[in-house]
Amino acid sequence: MRLAAMSRPPRSASCLGRFALLLGLLSAGPGEAQERRLGTLGFPNSGAPGAQNDFIQGVLLLHSFEYADAAAAFRRAQEIDPDFALAYWGEAMTYNHPIWGEYDGDAARAVLTRYHGTPATEREALYWAAMDPLYRDEISDKTERDQAYMVAMRRLHEAYPDDDEASAFYALSILGLTNGVRDFRNYMRAAAVAQPVFERNPGHPGAAHYIIHAFDDPIHAPLGLPAARAYGASTPDAGHAQHMTSHIFVAMGMWDDVVQANVNAVRVMDRGRAERGMADLNRCGHYASWQQYGHLMREEWDAAAAIMDMCQKNQASPDGDDRAYYMRMRARQVLDTGEWDGVVRWSFDVSDVPSAVPGYDFVDAYAALRQGDPAPAREAVARWQEALKAPAETEAWWYDPDRLRIQVMDLEGLLAMRDGRSDQAVRLLQEAAELEESLPMEFGPPASLQPPHELLGTLLLELDRPGEAVEAFQGSLALAPRRTPSLRGLLSAARAAGDETLAVETEKEIQEILMDVDQPSSLQRLLR
């Protein structure tokens, strides 16, 4: 399918002005409207004046990945002005989710077939033409589509360097090349394109959003902090926007901000569900998971447990993603609090959620080991080793084989320690930590439920090797800054090694996180 790239004369010069919305209007019913604060942007276009509010709101929502609401806004603009090319362009773009790896070409093409005109201006024609590679029938490979789309957006950006929307969507097209994998070269390219837009307009949701994605790791996160602050303040009525700020906060160990950002995100989600007349169900998802992790890092056990209670009420949900999140949240609760009693074989079925099974089994085995029963660990190791020997079957686990290998080495190391083979235990955990370091940096809470550096440090302390333990805990903190269990371990190791300066610095950092809340950590309980 070749999309039209012709132009027609603008219908009204007055419609070509620069529009900016701080408060988008979302129709809530006949004669009703609700204000939504979604950021600010300018997008000159040839649409009818009456279609501007809906069109601009669609673009604002599109930048914050609120795809369903964005599509509805663009459709309202089409109803007001059926000849408004960019309203169809906008709706079609809601079916390509580059960061999430989601794509619905059929739905997008169905939108484009409803439009029978041609773009009104040369610039709008370039926006229209840039979609061509994304939805062209003859390009079947998604990677090839993404590359061709990026090239088209680069041409648009170069033709109109002062067009903030061309720049923002070009930055997103660069991020779309990464397929969710760490790619610092393209991340920095995207940031370089988005940063000038952000400097011109800190309230631009796309510029701030894409900068956050580009700097979402412990090394670069401080560069993304201004964008995170601005995004959260300017876009309070987009749930994904509120959550996205916590990507920078987690990478910097700003736990109060992590909690608040996700409280805000859940609040927006709940309000949206209520407006649609939807039941308040299945809240045990992504935002709740990150909120709970922030509470755990603050050692706010009761607050974290309250989220578990909420999730427990939703455990019968048919949504496998919700149950997978619940499993990881429950696992983190157990591992970070050291509350092993009653954990073995949870009363929660994740057998039909392949992505949850390895983590479920790991915590079950880990808890059993801490309670003196090695059988679940031996069974898990044997099962995972067999899975790793059969790549085709392993794929069905929907789980990163390298992460699975880390779990195998962690449990093998703990089993070796239990059997008195301490040298082998240290070697296995060192290998797990080295493998962790070799993998791309993760977004958000550590991918390994029990970070291998932290586990290694704990074992080295048990072996009275505090100097080596200091290095292990510092390695953990390099990957997960201000992670409280690792800081607790570093404090114990520094004191045991006689490094008073490091001990004082570490204790001060812990106090800053906890605001003088003094509760025993999981590590302390393990070392008793």
The distance in angstroms from the start CA to the end CA of the chain is: 68
Task: Quickly tell me which residue has 């809906």 as its tokens.
Answer: 54
Who contacts 368 (Cβ-Cβ below 8 Å, separation ≥6)?
344, 374, 375, 376, 377
CA distance 488 to 479: 16
Burial 461-481 (b: 16+ CB within 10 A, else e): beeebbebbbbbbbbbbebbb
CA distance 137 to 43: 29
**Positive or negative, the Cα torsion across 178, 181, 187, 189?**
negative
Angle between helix 452-462 and helix 484-497 axes, rounded to 10 deg: 30
What is residue 464's predicted lDDT score, i.e. its pLDDT? 97
Q: Are 353 and 347 in contact (CB under 8 A)?
A: no
CA distance 467 to 482: 20
What is residue 6's predicted lDDT score, i.e. its pLDDT? 32
| Residue-level pLDDT, tens digit, the chain, 528 residues | 333 333 333 344 334 434 444 444 333 333 233 468 999 999 999 999 999 999 999 999 999 999 999 999 999 999 999 999 999 999 999 999 988 878 898 999 999 999 988 888 999 999 999 998 888 876 778 888 999 999 999 999 999 999 999 999 999 999 999 876 778 899 999 999 999 999 999 999 999 999 999 999 999 999 999 999 999 999 999 999 999 999 999 999 999 999 999 999 999 988 877 777 766 555 678 899 999 999 999 999 999 988 877 777 665 555 667 777 888 888 888 888 887 765 544 556 667 776 677 787 888 899 889 888 999 999 999 988 888 887 655 555 456 788 889 999 999 999 999 999 999 999 999 999 999 999 887 789 998 889 999 999 999 999 999 999 999 999 999 999 999 999 999 999 999 999 999 999 999 999 999 984 544 444 443 333
CA distance 497 to 500: 8
Q: Domains (ranges, CATH) in the chain?
A: 13-237 (1.25.40)
pTM of the entire predicted model? 0.89
CA distance 239 to 267: 8
What is residue 356's predicted lDDT score, i.e. its pLDDT? 73
Long-range contacts formed by 10-18: CB under 8 A, 24+ apart: 10/46, 10/120, 10/121, 11/46, 11/48, 11/83, 11/120, 12/46, 12/49, 14/49, 15/45, 15/46, 15/47, 15/48, 15/49, 16/44, 16/45, 16/46, 16/121, 17/44, 18/42, 18/43, 18/44
What is residue 137's predicted lDDT score, i.e. its pLDDT? 72
**Positive or negative, the Cα torsion across 23, 27, 28, 33?**
positive
Task: Quickly tell me which residue has 């390895």 as its tokens.
Answer: 358
Task: Quickly tell me which residue has 């031996």 as its tokens.
Answer: 378
Q: In whole angstroms, what separates CA 231 from the centre of its chain?
A: 15
Q: Are 328 and 289 in contact (CB under 8 A)?
A: yes
